[in-house]
Chains A and B, each alone.
Chain A
Amino acid sequence: MPRKDDWGLVHRVVLRPEERTANIPEETKKVPFEMWVKGRLKSDADLGQEVTVVTRTGREVRGTLLEVNPTYTHSFGDFVPEILTIGDTVRQMLFGGSADAS
């Protein structure tokens, strides 16, 4: 069970669809306006439970506990072969002679 002082990610709905502003596209109006914030748990709590966290600036934010020790998994993505081709093309154009090397 996640314990008090563990680092966690909480989620909350800031505005329900009916509370959202008028000037937005239909697809946005249909969904709630949501927020995700990280902080230390103020108390023991299970994932999915309501909990208060204390953020890095010392603010208290209440929300549903989604993750403990959240990390980043973004990357350089899947290989994109076109990028190699671009590099080869312009190198050949400049250092291999012809401007029509493509």
Chain B
Amino acid sequence: MLPDSYQAVLSRKAEIMKAAVGMDFAQFESGSIAFDYEGMLAATGYSLQDVIEIQKGFSVGNTPLLELRNLTELARKLAPPGKGARIFIKDEAANPSGSFKVRRAATSVYHARKQGYPGVVTATSGNYGAAVASCCAMAGLRCIVIQECFDSRRTGQPEIIEKARKCEALGAEVVQLSVGPELFYTFLRTLEETGYFNASLYTAYGILGIETLGYEIAMQFRERLGRDPDAVVCTNAGGGNLTGTARGLIKAGCQAQVIAASVNLKGLHMASDTSFNRKSFTTGHTGFGMPFSTWPDRSDVPRSAARPLRYMDRYVTVNQGEVFYMTEVLASLEGLEKGPAGNTSLAAAFALAQEMDRDQCLVVQETEYTGAGKHLNAQLSFARRNGIEVRFGDPEEEVPGQSIILPEHPRQIRAREVDLDHMRRSLIRNALASVDHPPTEADLEFLAQETRTDKKFVMEAL
């Protein structure tokens, strides 16, 4: 038997991943910073059309595109004359597992079955667990979901507990862990022990699965309005949602602006046992959005296929109280009760629409299911019980981990601009720190692509 100490298991990371993803990442490496990103995606052998067919086989996709007429009307009441774009939402909660994440899961689970893996392991506390479990149920594969779930008092976010329940309801085994990055150690050991497929959120299979979301948005828009949307807002955490959606839009020849939105959780450490239950969002927040954008390869595969800075036109943040507020507005004015985390991009869109002209169109590209635990009442109540101040006020006064400020008036909802050039420079510096030699010519070219800039920008950042 192989040694199972923390260090010993982590030192076997490359071989465990190679076996569990069925892809040798070394073939895409240049030996320096640069690697063949498009080559890695192409190596899956699945075209966009293949992915659409695979997803049909799991009854995934082709979700309704809903126009939020009352929300648009409210935004127009608050916007300057002539402003207030039409707001649409892609009702991804209508997918089998209740979120867009099943698009990612479908390609991975399909591939796992095709390659003869007996089961699938995934590390996630989010909707992705239920997505993988749902597809595994359909494919007849075994499924293990590894969750960061409890703090050291064994208190868990109601949202994560609900996700565990849903995974179990769909037949998965759920391994619940306390707070810490050592989740990766348990993940590697489980992959090694079971020989199952790693349905990582960050492989090429997962990202290709999201391309259909962007593609569908463009196609549905053209069919219904005879035109393309002007902007698409994506909730951003690990970057896959934005990357896949943007790639799908590009494949449809759609020029819509791609805007990232995250909940601002500044100051909360993601690996902190005591901060764990002081945040009311378990994903879609800056605690993932910032580090994963500026260093995508921190993920659970050697090279992440989610590289959001390649595709982002803008990045905005919203506060927790604003997202909860908009979740209630969506229910009250549109008759749509959805989970709060998926409404991060909705809160941003409500503010962004007020900057845009009336004849423009804006798409919020997801909704997620709601229910016990995963509901704004459950989340706000849990926050209050954990000593977080919940009150009406000016959202600018919100301090993540201490308060949730619900806007007194919807005009206070804002999309706060993130300095993208600053993030681009961070990515360049992080990449440089990963090697012990000056960047090669190919590296400079690669970093320009990674940051959607040019060699001049890269050289200046160095």
Interface residues of A (CB under 8 A from B): 14-15, 19-21, 23-25, 27-28, 30-39, 55-59, 72, 74-80, 82-83, 85-87, 89-91, 93-94, 99-100, 102
Measured CA separation A76–B158 after assembly (Å): 9
A34, A86, A90: the one contacting B74 at CB < 8 Å is A90
Max chain B CB contacts within 10 Å: which of A32, A33, A56, A100? A33
Measured CA separation A74–B382 after assembly (Å): 10
Closest 6 CB pairs of A and B: A77-B381, A87-B332, A74-B373, A31-B152, A34-B178, A77-B378
**Quick one: CB contact mask for B173-197 with A, threshold 8 Å, 1 for yes?**
1111111111001100000011000
Query: Assuming A23-B181, A57-B119, A93-B410, is B171 touching A28 (CB within 8 A)?
Result: no
Quick check: B271 and A24 within 8 Å, CB to CB?
A: yes
In the complex, what's the smallest C-beta–C-beta distance from A10 to chain B, in angstroms?
11
8 contacts between A and B (CB under 8 A): A14-B186, A15-B6, A28-B271, A74-B378, A76-B372, A83-B376, A90-B74, A94-B333
Measured CA separation A42–B432 after assembly (Å): 52
Complex: chain A residue closest to B169, CB-CB: A72
Tell me whether B273 is interfacial, beta carbon within 8 Å.
Answer: yes
Quick check: B73 and A94 within 8 Å, CB to CB?
A: yes
Quick check: A86 and B150 within 8 Å, CB to CB?
A: no
Max chain B CB contacts within 10 Å: which of A32, A78, A83? A83
Measured CA separation A86–B308 after assembly (Å): 34
Tell me whether B143 is interfacial, beta carbon within 8 Å.
Answer: yes
Quick check: B273 and A34 within 8 Å, CB to CB?
A: no
Quick check: A57 and B142 within 8 Å, CB to CB?
A: yes
Contacts A36-B175, A94-B73 known; list 5 others, CB within 8 Å: A14-B186, A34-B150, A80-B377, A82-B406, A90-B332
Quick check: B384 and A90 within 8 Å, CB to CB?
A: no
Q: Inside 8 A of A90's CB, which chain B residues have their CB?
A: 74, 329, 332-333, 410
Quick check: A33 and B384 within 8 Å, CB to CB?
A: no
Q: Inside 8 A of A82's CB, which chain B residues have their CB?
A: 380, 390-392, 406
Measured CA separation A15–B177 after assembly (Å): 11
**Quick one: CB contact mask for B378-400 with A, threshold 8 Å, 1 for yes?**
11111011000011100000000
Complex: chain A residue closest to B118, CB-CB: A57
Tell me whether B331 is interfacial, beta carbon within 8 Å.
Answer: yes
Query: Assuming A57-B142, A75-B373, A85-B392, is B178 touching A27 (CB within 8 A)?
Result: no
A25, A37, A93: the one contacting B77 at CB < 8 Å is A93
Measured CA separation A78–B382 after assembly (Å): 8
Quick check: B377 and A32 within 8 Å, CB to CB?
A: no
Q: Inside 8 A of B379's CB, which chain A residues have their CB?
A: 77
Complex: chain A residue closest to B70, CB-CB: A94
Measured CA separation A15–B152 after assembly (Å): 13
B325, B378, B385: the one contacting A86 at CB < 8 Å is B325
Quick check: A80 and B178 within 8 Å, CB to CB?
A: no
Complex: chain B residue closest to A14, CB-CB: B186
Measured CA separation A37–B5 after assembly (Å): 20
Quick check: B193 and A59 within 8 Å, CB to CB?
A: yes
Measured CA separation A26–B389 after assembly (Å): 25
Q: Inside 8 A of B186's CB, which chain A residues have their CB?
A: 14, 35
Query: Assuming A20-B182, A82-B390, is B165 touching A74 (CB within 8 A)?
Result: yes
Measured CA separation A55–B131 after assembly (Å): 20
A30, A31, A58, A102: the one contacting B409 at CB < 8 Å is A102
